[in-house]
Structure 1
Amino acid sequence: MSNALVIVESPAKAKTISKFLGDGFDVRASVGHIADLPSKGLSVDVENSFKPNYELTERGAQVIKELKALLKDADELYLATDEDREGEAIAAHLLEYLKPKIPVKRMVFHEITKTAISEALAHTRDIDYKLVDAAEARRILDRLYGYEVSPILWRKVNRGLSAGRVQSPSIRLVVEREEERMAHVAAGYWDLEATSATTPIFSAGLQSVDGSRIAMGKDFDSLGVVKEGVVVITESKAGELVAGLANVDLEVRSVEDRPYRKSPRAPFMTSTLQQEGGNKLRITASEVMRLAQGLYEGGFITYMRTDNVILGDDAMTAVRSEISNAFGKEFLSAEPRQYKSKVKNAQEAHEAIRPTLPLRSPDVIASEVNARELALYKIIWQRTLASQMSDATGTTVTIKLGANTVGAVKADCEFSTSGTTITFAGYRQAYQEVEEDSESEEKEALLPPMKVGDKVKIDKYSANGHETSPPARYTEPTLVKKLEELGIGRPSTYAAILGTILNRGYVWKKGQAIVPSWTAFAVVKLMKNHFTELVDYTFTATVEEELDEISQGLRVKEVWLGEFYYGNGKELPGLKPLVEHNIA
């Protein structure tokens, strides 16, 4: 009987896969990367095609020794590391250091189920050296960047600091947001609220006085200057209006009904799972990834590093069948919903993050996972089902009401109220996402029946003072979203970036908010003054895209690294010339 050695990254993954492979397969773990660039020195030969000088890590040397012993009794080797650039690089290193004399097959899958593992065994391939090149280019690039730029930070700011290709622009984002907050000039303004004496009670906000719209927070710029065409209500004016409206009924001036319809969002990819995990479960991006990794390795969800939002055909069929059974056919979208990734160069050939097949509800797996893993699984389950469900529908009613003040100075005051009645919950029966921008959302509210000309009794008018707020500090979910929008970093790097800038003291947390340290201000100032291109958002995104092109075979790793290091006279200014220019 044949005896195959199968190598995966983690012991947990090895344990799950062993159950599906059975006899004849010995599944072992490399425990992540086995080789890396030494921590000291550059370890990249810039004169010789940027050849990296890898060495086995202490743990890697032990792993290779153990695997070599196991290889003696094996007649086939399966490299079953993750199906992404890092996984491909680990597979390439295993091949290099093990030097097997038996047939070697690369085995890839994006979920750990019996069906997926059987499929992977039946359709093995060779190592994809384009992916290996992309992973290696990233590693070499990050070493060149840190090795060349960090010493300048040590001399000019403080010893022990580090510069990073993605880390430095991330710190810049946090610092610039804090600078916006510091430069913000608060402006005061008042508004009026009318509370009805009807059943149900509703409130209406003052919209205009004598036909001129009143100023709200969004009408002021960061220096506290109001835009033209709006009128600022002062405290004294607000008091005057309240006095003039005392015991005055409002008359309905217009009633506008419009249909309300909201579609579900796409299933999760890495960045949106990190954002929603932060918003709903109040956990860090790193914690989201740790829990997701546990769920993946246990065979509960698909691979958790992906920037794709598609569902494969089998998953689509299973999800739509589950919706019909659990909620009824009316909750199923008329046609399968196809989502497109908004991320430029969605790089890996994975599906969205979804429960594995056959689908198992959170109740079914509750006894097999811990409470935190279950909470994350629940939102993945709900969001996956919701993505193929019907729109939520209803009616939004907007009513304008007005009256003239009584007294010496007359003013025409117009108020507005709106409410949305959801008549069919649709996807919301399964899942409601956390809304970041509550202003743009229709609020659900019950309004009494009203028609034009009706008089509405008002219980009280109240004046409320406000002050404009500076832009909010980033939280982990909003910073991940911003990095994704700018094309900085990739799904596999967001959690690591946040962890690095927190652990190295560039930022700290005040509640959920990310606040820059004084060191961050000093580093960003130095980088902007002397290494403008290296912290430029567009440049960082361009580098990311060009690394993607290496993975697709559209660029040659060694040529591109040469251009990055020495410059190409176009979009790459050259790291070495920049550093030499700034060493003085």
Structure 2
Amino acid sequence: FFDVDKNLYGVRIIGADGYVKYVPEYDIMGICKDCGKRFTGLRRRCPRCGSENVILQSDVLEALCEIASEVNEILIATDPDAEGEKIGFDIALALAPYAEKISRIEYHAVTPSEFRKALENPRGIDLNRVKAQLVRRIVDRWVGFTFSHLLWKLKHIKKKFFSYSAGRVQTPVLGWIIERFDEYKKNKINVYFIHLSNGYFVSLEENSIPKEVWQSLVGKKVKVKIVKAHDEVLNPPPPYTTADLLKDISAQLRIRSTETMRILQELFESGLITYHRTDSTRVSPEGINVAKEFIRNEFGDMSLFQPRAWGGQEEGAHECIRPTMPITANTLIRMLQTEELVLPIRFTKKHFAVYQQIFRRFIASQMKPAKIRKGCIELIFDSRIKHRLEGILDILEPGFMVIYPYNTLPKFDNVKVERVQSLKISKVPLYNESEIIDKMRAEGIGRPSTYAIILDILFKRGYIKTSLYRNKIFPLKRGIMIYTSLIRNIESYAKKLERQNKKLAERLRSFITVEGTRDLEREMDKVEKGKVDYQRVLKKIHEVLSMILKDLSKYYTRELIPAIERMVNSFNNENKKQGAGSISKNDEQG
């Protein structure tokens, strides 16, 4: 598991005549259907709860091999991304001895037309995609395990080392949250919230105005003055990408990103939306027809329809997240109730809410622009207390807003001040989930498939937490300790490495920076396009980590293995008393 010269975190290192090759090693995976524990090895009992209700990948492979021996051709239709390509590659290797012909097909929606199109266009496995996914998995494992083991060496962390981890993307993201929290604490100011009779409120800084003046506003009528106004044409927003959808669902429906991704997977598998892991806004001709049919049936006014392909040619087959049928969430509910449509999954209110969000945004993207009056108004509470608001004053022609309305500024005619509240707040707000996801996308770190997972890891490790009422993210003591300890230790190793090779030292530092993580993502993109040899990328990473790895190998033998053995023995002794299963060292390491 950890031999720097032969095996590094499940990757065999083969070297001869100055040439090094990196070969990943695999084992059979199993999952317990009762407790959800994932484990390695050919065992029929769960190592956590002792249940025999387990599924082994070897059973699935056996069934596939049996089917493969009875047919002329195998079509592999795993997900249309790099991860799906790698899974397809593994399946193809396993079935090769049994099948006469193996092809790869790809579709972006579970619909008859997409399926027919896929059947008409079979292809081989895209090896560049497979290599890119290999690099991603290996680098994530190398960096994550190396940095995690680096943390476990620290005296103040040793006792609970298995509950701590670090990662290539999660570390910079944790850094953002900690930095924002520091800014939040440093920028506290006194603010007055003025609550108005129309339900609106404004917040204004104290600005040395006496408390008596603020309190005297209660009951006073608010004067309103239009500072400027102009008419403009407002285009609809593009259809959803993964990042934009996660951002809106978090902000508007207050659903956690991991739960949203599960709901999207179920909507996709039910054939209701296109593939949900995408950074493309492109709309296919089939998608445009879905919008056209809905607008014709719903509004009867085709002047509202304005087709747009969005995206660009470089985005290839990838499409935005859109509905596959011209039906709203309400129509979908009715069709399920009357059994006009039967789905394999029982939907909840959240499924319908997420679907409706996707549907409205997509239909709006295919409609004509709105005409609005935009401007700035000034609310005058007192000669010294004024506040300006900018936004939409009026909607002249709704266009796409008939289905996807934007907020307009409230009316302030005959409005009075109901109450004035004094609070201490920060000028720098804390992040929420949607803002972190948006920042990951903007900074170019992570992938549509990993945005939610990265945040989920930070929550599960106890590094961050969400405030109960405002849904804001703040770091916990554990997260701050882990981040600062890791930064300090990486810098210590970088200084040692600097004496031998300054370039390698800078690369090591870059592993915990946004820039370094972004550059690594670009390298992986080059591998996927066939521009860079994936073995070369792995060699560069291995060289940078080598000093830490050699140091860790001594620690691993001296302290970590004995610690794992103690934990395993304790766990097994407890389970024997309860009649449950047992675990081995390899399970914990794997």
Q: TM-score, normalised by structure 2?
A: 0.72
C-alpha separation in 1, matches of 2:415 and 2:467: 42
In structure 1, distance between residues paired with 2:136 and 2:268: 25
1:377 to 351, 355, 367: 355
**Partner of 1:317 in structure 2?**
289
Secondary structure class of the residue paired with 1:51: strand
Q: Which residue is 2:529 aligned to?
A: 552
SS at match of 1:187: strand
**Correspondence 1:43 to 2:10:** yes
- Unpaired runs of 5+ residues, structure 2, are 1-6, 31-55, 337-341, 491-508, 556-590
Map of 2:373 onto structure 1: 395
Structure 1 position 79, deviation (Å): 0.9
Amino acid at match of 1:258: H
Q: Which residue does the alignment assign to 1:428?
A: 401
| 1:354–1:459 distance in 2 versus 1, CA, 3 Å | closer
Q: Does 1:522 align with 2:454?
A: no
Is the CA contact 1:171–1:501 (under 8 Å) kept in the aligned structure 2? yes
| 540-549 or 314-323: bigger deviation | 314-323
- Aligned match of 2:234: 262
Could you tell me how far apart the structure 2 residues matched to 1:416 and 1:515 are? 31
Structure 2 vs 1, CA of residues 459 and 129 (structure 1 numbering), >3 Å: closer, same or farther? closer
Does residue 334 of structure 2 align to residue 336 of structure 1? no
Match of 1:166 among 166, 169, 172: 169
Please give the alpha-carbon distance, in whole angstroms, between the structure 1 residues aligned to 2:100 and 2:221: 92
Equivalent pair of 1:254/1:401 in contact (CA under 8 Å): no
Q: Which amino acid aligns with 1:339?
A: W
Q: Is the aligned partner of 1:57 residue 2:29?
A: yes
- Other structure's SS at 1:49 match: strand
The answer to which structure has the higher helix fraction is 2
5 Å-filtered alignment, 1:443-462, equals: 443-446=408-411
Specify which of 209, 219, 222 is matched with residue 234 of structure 1.
Answer: 209
- Give the partner amino acid of 2:265: Q
Q: CA deviation at 1:520?
A: 1.1
SS at match of 2:465: strand
Cα shift at 1:327:
2.5
User: How much is the aligned-residue C-alpha RMSD, in angstroms?
Assistant: 3.6
Instruction: Kindly indicate whether residue 126 of structure 2 is the aligned counterpart of residue 124 of structure 1.
Output: no
- Seen in structure 2, the aligned counterparts of structure 1 residues 420 and 85 have a Cα distance that, compared at 3 Å, is same
5 Å-filtered alignment, 1:31-110, equals: 42-46=9-13, 47=15, 48-58=20-30, 59-99=56-96, 100-110=98-108
Give the 3-state SS of the residue equivalent to 1:97 in structure 2: helix
Deviation at 1:385, TM superposition (A): 0.2
Alpha carbons 1:269, 1:306 under 8 Å: kept: yes
Which residue is 1:133 aligned to? 131
User: Shift of residue 378 of structure 1?
Assistant: 1.2
**Could you report, residue by residue, the CA deviation over 1:113-159 in whole angstroms, capped at 9, with x for unpaired residues?**
11111111111000000000011111111121123222110011341
Instruction: Name the aligned partner's letter for residue 365 of structure 1.
Output: L
In structure 2, what is the Cα distance between the partners aligned to 1:359 and 1:164?
A: 42
Q: CA deviation at 1:526?
A: 2.0
TM-superposed deviation, 1:83: 1.1
Whether 2:456 is the aligned partner of 1:491: answer no
Letter of the 2:24 counterpart:
P
Q: Which amino acid aligns with 2:322?
A: R
CA contact (8 A) 1:261 1:394 kept: yes
Give, in angstroms, the shift of residue 270 of structure 1.
Answer: 1.2
Relative distance call for 1:359 and 1:522 in structure 2 (3 A) is: same
CA displacement, residues 40-80 of structure 1 (integer Å, 9 cap, x when unaligned): 96121234411111223242211111211222211111111
What TM-score, normalized by structure 1, do the two folds share? 0.73
Distance change (3 Å), C-alpha of 1:232 and 1:122: same
| Secondary structure of the structure 2 residue equivalent to 1:535 | coil
Q: Distance in 1 between matches of 2:380 and 2:264?
A: 54
User: Structure 2: how far apart are the matches of 1:298 and 1:191?
Assistant: 47
Give the distance between the partners of 1:142 and 1:247, measured in 2 at CA. 61
Please state how far the C-alpha of 1:483 moved relative to its aligned partner: 1.1
| Residue 278 of structure 2 corresponds to residue 306 of structure 1 | yes
Moved over 6 A (4+): 191-195, 201-205, 240-243, 246-250, 345-348, 411-415, 457-464, 581-584
AA paired with 1:557?
Answer: Y
SS in 1 for 2:511: helix
Structure 2 equivalent of residue 477 of structure 1: 434
Unaligned runs of 5+ in 1: 1-39, 196-200, 206-214, 218-230, 406-410, 434-441, 449-456, 567-573
Residue 37 of structure 2 corresponds to none
Q: Residues 300 and 43 of structure 1: is their aligned pair in 2 closer, same or farther, counting only changes over 3 Å?
A: same
Match of 2:323 in 1: 355
